[in-house]
Structures are given as C-alpha cells and as structure tokens.
Structure 1
Amino acid sequence: MSLSPRFIALLLASLIAGLTMVFLAFVPGTTGSMLFVVGVSSFLLSFFLVLYTIDILVYREITKLYEAIRKLKVRDFSISRKSILKTGNPFKKLNDEIFVYVARKQKEIDELKKMEQFRREFLADVSHELKTPIFAAQGFIHTLIDGAVDDEYVRDKFLAKAARSLDGLDALVQDLVALSQLETGELRMHFDRVDIRHITDEIFEQLESVAQARKTTFRLKTPLTGPVWVRADKQRITQVMTNLIQNAVKYGNDGGKVVVTLEDEGKKHLLVTVKDDGPGIPPEHLSRIFERFYRVEKSRSKEQGGTGLGLAIVKHILNAHKSKITVLSRLDKGTEFRFKLDKE
C-alpha cells in the first residue's frame, strides 16, 4: 500500500486527537463539549502541521532529489522512462534509483579499471615485442659500421640477420594495424561465395615445407563431396585457416598430424575444426589464448616465431563473420579449434 502524505497526516492527527481526548477525559470537570472542541482542534492542527511537514519539507525535497537522479540516469544510460519505477512513495523510488545507479556506476568503474590494466599490459607487451627485432637489427648494423663490412662473409651474414629482424618487425606492425582496424571496424569484410575446401587444400600446399620439417602430416576430413561453399571474406577466412593450421604444426609434436574437418552443422551452418595431436594447452591458459601477445610458453613461442597476435586477429575476423571460435584441449591429447560459417 502506498503511504501518501495525506494518509500519514490523517493517521497521525487521529492518533494525537484520540490520545488528547483520552487524557482530558480523566481530568475532573471536563465536559463532553470540551472534549469535542479539543479533539476537533487537535485533529485539525495536527493534520495540517504533519501534512505540511511531510509534504513540503520531506516529500517534495525527496521528489526533487529523485527527479535529479532520474534525469542523470536517463542521460548516462539511455534508459527508457517506462523502465523507471512508478510509485507514490518517493523514499522507495529514491532508494531504488540510488541502488541501481550506484550498482551501474560501480560496474563502470570496474570496467575502467580492467581497461586501464589491459592498457598497461598492452603497452608493456608492445614495447617488449618491438624492442627485440629493433635491438637485433641495430646490433648487426652497428657491427658492420664498426668495420665488419669489409669481411664479405660476415657482411652478408649480418645483413641477412638484420633483414630477418626487420621483416619480423614489419610483420608485427602489420598485425597491429590489422588488429586495430578490426577492432575499430575500419577493416570491412567483403563477403562472397567461397570454397573452403579449396582454401584448405591451398594452405596445405603452402605449408608443406614447414610440415615436412617437423614430419607432420595434413588431412582434410569431410563427408561432403565437391566444393564446400560458405559465405565469407576470402582473404580474411584464408588468414584464419592459415593461422590455425600453422599453429597446429608449430606447437604440435614432431611426427604428428593436423586434421581439418568440414561438416554440416544444421541446414544453415558449416562447422570447421582444426585439430592437432600435440601436447595440449593447460586449462589455466585456455581463457586467455585469444588475448594480444599472450603466450602459453613464452620461451618456446619465441623460438617458434610469430607476433603473438595471430589468435587475437582470428577472433576478431570471425566476430566480423558473426561467428565465435572455441577451443578444446587436453594435456598430451591435443588441441581443437572450432568455428561455424554460413553455408552458401
């Protein structure tokens, strides 16, 4: 029940008038007329005094405060007026609005703290990743300047190493630019009819030398015959498949195998799976492998090469395809990446 100012004033005035009449009834010589006059007078006086106190001094000020919070809430969060609580009790409205507002502000503060922590980690990672190839190339070039350029063998060897370091730096910068464009939406997807089977076969051919170096075998597994058509950006989905297959070779076991599976997932989607039989990823790392520069084994990842941005780019490309990538992994059993694409 809503306690309006008038109802509260009426209740309190009746109580005060009743108590006054009861006390006067015990006073000797008090007549019924006197009790009536005193009761009516105390009721009217108490009613208007309580009403003025509650309505003017409390309710109206609380209502003004509630309206100010409501306007701020609507401006900050674009909440429709229909969602705002409708009640006649401003204390309840104020309490509800303050609770909701504070809770959302606290959530906003927590998100800002996470973003600040992410920014610090990102700057530290970028600085570290840029420093390594720059210092390496700088060392080779300064060695040549200091006189090693006169030795033809040393000159060619150091120039080749400096070139590899700069190539790695260029790849890192290109990945950073691509990731930034994907996150801001500047990099547009050009969707077309794409044969994912043909793309997979081409990637197997491109990575054949890398696979042979580790004695890794490729296998395409699908119950579908002929071309497997999906709707995707050909360049970007090729980038996704290349990254996943290349990682499966890099981080799998020597003499292992990489299996790509293409199978129907209902009438509208195709399920793509890239699986290796490598050492697997520890459970504590699974939730973070799609973060920028995150490496499960930093020393081993450095030896294998790469910018540390591949899976982050894969995630954003698939998000642009309205798809989500998932990972399943068991230690010493292998790792499996899955995502869906729209069939064409």
Structure 2
Amino acid sequence: MSIKLRLILSNIAMITVPIIMFMLTSFLLMMVFLGDIREMTNFLPESHNYHKTKQEDTLLFLELKEKSAANPMELMSKKYLESLNSELSEIDSGLIIRKNDEIFYLTRELENVDTEELPEFGTEKSFRSLEEIGEQTFAMKQHDFYLQDGSEITLFLMRDASPWNQFVRTFFPILFGLCLLILIATNGLLTYFVSKSIINPINQLKKAAHFIKSGNLHHSITATRNDEIGQLTQAFEEMRIQLKESHEIQKQYEDNRKELIAHISHDLKTPITSIKGYIEGIRDGVADTPERRARYIQTIYTNAVDMDHLIDELFLFSKLDLGKVPFEFEKIDIKDYLSDYFEELSFDLRKQNVELNFQFAPQGHYHVLADREKFKRVLANIINNSLKYMDKDKKELIISMHSTDETIEVSIADNGPGIAEESIPFIFNQFYRAEQSRNKLTGGSGLGLSIAKMIIEEHNGKIKLESTLTVGTKITIILPHHSCLEEATS
C-alpha cells in the first residue's frame, strides 16, 4: 500500500470515527434528556413529520391540549377520560389529572405512583422528560390550564421509562468517557501506526546514510515494502552498491598508480645506474683501452635505447588508458594481412632458430575493421613476449586462424616454458611479469600485453590466454566480422 493511500485512509478514519462517536454521544444525550429517542421527531420540520413520524402518545397529548382549550368541561368528564383507557393501554401510557392539588382522575397503570411528588402547577413540560417519582422513573408530559371557575388543572401523560433509559442515565458518564477514550485511542493508534510505518524505514535510511558518511559501504539495507519509501530504499541500496564498486575501482586505480610509479622508478633507475657507472669508469680512466671504451660506450647506448623504449611504452600506455590515441580503421582481409606480416617476420625468426607455422582455412571470410599499425603492434608485442621466454632447443610458433558466423579468431601458440596457473589472471595487468625478478634479460617492461589488450579492446575485440607449464602458451585474439560491425553501427 502506498504512503499516499495509507494517509488518505488514515485521514478518512480520523474523520469518520469522530462522526460516529458524535452520533453515538448525541443518541445517548437524547435518551438522557428526552427519555425516548423517538421524541426527536418533535424537532423536525412538518414535512418530516408525515404519517408516523410523530409518536402516538405525542398525538394523544396534543389532542388533550386542544380539548383543554376548546372544551375543558368535556375533558373533565369521567366518561370521556375512561374512553381513553384503551388508547392509553396501546401506547403503554397512563393519565393523571390533578385539580387544585387533588387527584381528580388516575388510570389503573399509575395507581402506585406517589402523587405527592408530581411537579407543581406552572412547571409545564411540553416534551417528554424523565422524572423520578418515588422510586420509579417516568417519561412524562405535563400540561397546565384553568377552568372557568378558576380551578387549576394539571394533566400528566406518563409512561414507565424503559430499562434502556435507566441504563443510559445511570451509565451515561461511563459511556461518554468510553466514547471519548475510543476516539482518542483510535486517533492515537492510527497516528502511531502510520507514523511508525514511515519513521522506521526513514530511520533505517538515516542509519545507512550514517554508515556511508563514515566510510562503511558494506552495510546493506533490504526493501521489504513496495511503497514510495520501499522504492527509495531500493534506490538507496543500488546507490550504495555503485558507490562501493566505484570506491573499489578507485582503490584499485590508486594501487595501480602506486605500483606503476614503483615499477617505473625501478625500470628507469636500473639503466640510469648502469649508465652512471660506465660513464664514471670512462671518466676515471678505468676504460684505458680503445676496446674497453668501445664496450662501455656500447653498453651505455644499449641502456639508453632500453630507456627510450620503456618511455615510449609508458607514453603509449598512458595515451591508450586516457583514450587519446587516434585509430585509423579500415576494412582489411586479416588472412592476407597476416600472411604478409609473417612473411616479413620469418627472416628474423630463422636467425633465432624459430620455426613459424601459419594455419588457416582458405575458404573462410576474414574481413575485419582494423588499424594496420596498431594491430601490427599487438602481434609484435605478443611474439616478442613469446620469444623472450622460449627455453627449448627447437623453438616453435604456431599461428592459427578460423572464422565463425560473427567473429574471427587468431591464435598465437608457442612451445615455451608456460605460465603458472596463479599468474594467468594477472598476465594482462600493467607491469605484471610472471618472472618477478624483473631482469631485463628474461623479460621486458611488463607493458607489452597490457598495451595489446587495450588496442584489441579499441577494435571491439577480446584477447585471452591459455598456458600449461612446460608445454607452452597460447594467446587468442577475437575480432568481430566487418559485417557485424556494420550492422551494429547502422
């Protein structure tokens, strides 16, 4: 149930309950002061008193009043009064006529009434009121008038008050207090439950916000309702999850940044230290022969080249990470492209005693969108990485390619030492090397595969690695077909 509907129903209840309590209290008051709820008809307009709206005892009382004005002597006739007995019996009422403080006429139903306690002449009551006469309670109508001789006549139309009237008169304070208590309790309970249903989840949100403010992003809250607050709770929880993920990513970036600085410092300090040492050797005359000076200078040059290569790698990696490297994509046949590239590469590989095998299905479709120079950088990084670690007498590279309906896969496998299973998930991380000594004789900067992955992702492709110790490593590049890219962009 929504908060809006809950508040509407609560307001309706807060309006209807007082109305019901007011009507009940009015009914009780009417019973107390009129003696009979049916006497309310005397207060209604004439148009509402049609047919049976006026009670029969009221009509009889009005008839007697008219008789007292039109023909009082007939009213004082015992014969006439006795003719009213049957009518009085039908309405469970009795009649007393008092003349000058003496009872002139008394019906049988009222024989036990203590007539001494009847109201005095001049205290006429047109409408029914409850009067205690002796130990009895009567709903009584009184009418006073004079005869021609000046006698004071009082007419009493009386009926025994019902047990309900006595109950109401006796317990009215309790009933009224109970109605008031029910009214207060109803409004209090409605206010409590409605406010509780709103305040409790808000307090939970407040508590969760305090946790987030203090940096604790692990405190979760569960939406247990479908109203607006439940939707807010769900949105808050989704925000917390996103903040947690962003915080973890930011922490990972910070750790990567620290690691990057540490690796850069290490990889730059090593050649710089070497260069300084050899320059000091030349300056101090240690290289005292032309051959030794030439060897020192060659070493300095080699370290400078390594530093230049590392700086180029860092620059490219940073630009790729920031998305600042421009790509010139064109439609190429990857089969022909690889055939040309490996034909050029085969000369250098033969010098290193590396056998190259290129396998593909001639009937396949191998058109992709690629940047020729950037893709060549990917192949060079992967192959150079394989060549650095090959430790067998017969070195072998197997390049295979096959096409599916949506993708083209290019696999480069070597017969090197392989990579430990625990290192495989991190192999594409920047500066990661399975060989942790960071010896430049057994590996490069650790950026080659990271750069390769970033370039392939810019081609909307994927790159994955499989490796088995002592068997070798296989890296697979997955690129979408040119036709699939055209459909996606259109």
Equivalent position to 2:186, from 27, 34, 47: 47
Q: For 1:37, give the aligned amino acid.
A: F
Q: For 1:332, give the aligned amino acid.
A: T
Task: State the alpha-carbon separation in 1 of the partners of residues 243 and 364 from structure 2.
Answer: 55
Equivalent position to 2:409, from 233, 256, 271: 271
Equivalent position to 1:113, from 251, 254, 266: 251
Task: State the alpha-carbon separation in 2 of the partners of residues 161 and 187 from structure 1.
Answer: 33
Task: State the alpha-carbon separation in 1 of the partners of residues 287 and 415 from structure 2.
Answer: 47
1:190-209 correspondence to structure 2 within 5 Å = 190-208=328-346
Task: State the alpha-carbon separation in 1 of the partners of residues 380 and 361 from structure 2.
Answer: 22
SS of the residue aligned with 2:264? helix
The alpha-carbon distance between structure 1 residues 222 and 133, as it changes in their structure 2 partners (threshold 3 A), is same
Write the deviation string for residues 12-35 of structure 1: whole angstroms up to 9, x where unpaired: xx9xx9xxxxxxxxxxx9845444
User: Is 1:251 the counterpart of 2:386 in the alignment?
Assistant: no
User: Is 1:328 the counterpart of 2:472 in the alignment?
Assistant: no
1:153-302 correspondence to structure 2 within 5 Å = 153-208=291-346, 211-224=349-362, 228-252=366-390, 253-266=392-405, 268-299=406-437, 302=440
Report the alpha carbon displacement of residue 104 of structure 1 after superposing the two structures with TM. 3.6
Task: State the alpha-carbon separation in 2 of the partners of residues 225 and 103 from structure 1.
Answer: 49
Q: For 2:398, give the aligned amino acid.
A: V
Report the alpha carbon displacement of residue 109 of structure 1 after superposing the two structures with TM. 2.9
Q: Which has the larger radius of gyration?
A: 2
Write the deviation string for residues 25-49 of structure 1: whole angstroms up to 9, x where unpaired: xxxx984544442232112223344
Larger RCO (CA under 8 A, 6+ residues apart): 1
User: Is 1:38 the counterpart of 2:181 in the alignment?
Assistant: no
- Bigger helix fraction: 1
Report the alpha carbon displacement of residue 258 of structure 1 after superposing the two structures with TM. 0.5
Report the alpha carbon displacement of residue 295 of structure 1 after superposing the two structures with TM. 0.8
Report the alpha carbon displacement of residue 6 of structure 1 after superposing the two structures with TM. 7.0
Q: For 1:277, give the aligned amino acid.
A: N
SS of the residue aligned with 1:133? helix
Q: Report the TM-score, using the length of structure 1 for normalisation.
A: 0.77
Q: Does the Cα contact within 8 Å between 2:407 and 2:480 map onto a contact in 1?
A: yes
Report the alpha carbon displacement of residue 157 of structure 1 after superposing the two structures with TM. 1.3
User: Is 1:131 the counterpart of 2:269 in the alignment?
Assistant: yes
Aligned match of 1:303 = 441
Report the alpha carbon displacement of residue 8 of structure 1 after superposing the two structures with TM. 7.1
User: Is 1:316 the counterpart of 2:450 in the alignment?
Assistant: no
Report the alpha carbon displacement of residue 313 of structure 1 after superposing the two structures with TM. 0.3
Task: State the alpha-carbon separation in 1 of the partners of residues 253 and 475 from structure 2.
Answer: 27
Aligned match of 1:21 = none
Task: State the alpha-carbon separation in 2 of the partners of residues 187 and 279 from structure 1.
Answer: 34
The alpha-carbon distance between structure 1 residues 296 and 60, as it changes in their structure 2 partners (threshold 3 A), is closer
Q: For this pair of structures, how many residues does the alignment match?
A: 315
Q: Does the Cα contact within 8 Å between 2:366 and 2:403 map onto a contact in 1?
A: no
Report the alpha carbon displacement of residue 229 of structure 1 after superposing the two structures with TM. 3.8
The alpha-carbon distance between structure 1 residues 329 and 57, as it changes in their structure 2 partners (threshold 3 A), is closer
Q: For 1:196, give the aligned amino acid.
A: I
Write the deviation string for residues 243-267 of structure 1: whole angstroms up to 9, x where unpaired: 222223332333121011121122x
Q: Does the Cα contact within 8 Å between 1:230 and 1:343 map onto a contact in 2?
A: yes
SS of the residue aligned with 1:303? coil
My pick for the range that moved more, 278-287 or 243-252, is: 243-252
My pick for the range that moved more, 200-209 or 50-59, is: 50-59
Q: For 1:315, give the aligned amino acid.
A: K
Aligned match of 1:144 = 282
Report the alpha carbon displacement of residue 328 of structure 1 after superposing the two structures with TM. 1.3
Report the alpha carbon displacement of residue 121 of structure 1 after superposing the two structures with TM. 1.6
Task: State the alpha-carbon separation in 2 of the partners of residues 107 and 164 from structure 1.
Answer: 44
The alpha-carbon distance between structure 1 residues 279 and 61, as it changes in their structure 2 partners (threshold 3 A), is closer
The alpha-carbon distance between structure 1 residues 45 and 89, as it changes in their structure 2 partners (threshold 3 A), is farther
Write the deviation string for residues 134-162 of structure 1: whole angstroms up to 9, x where unpaired: 11122212221222466322221111111
Task: State the alpha-carbon separation in 1 of the partners of residues 478 and 382 from structure 2.
Answer: 14
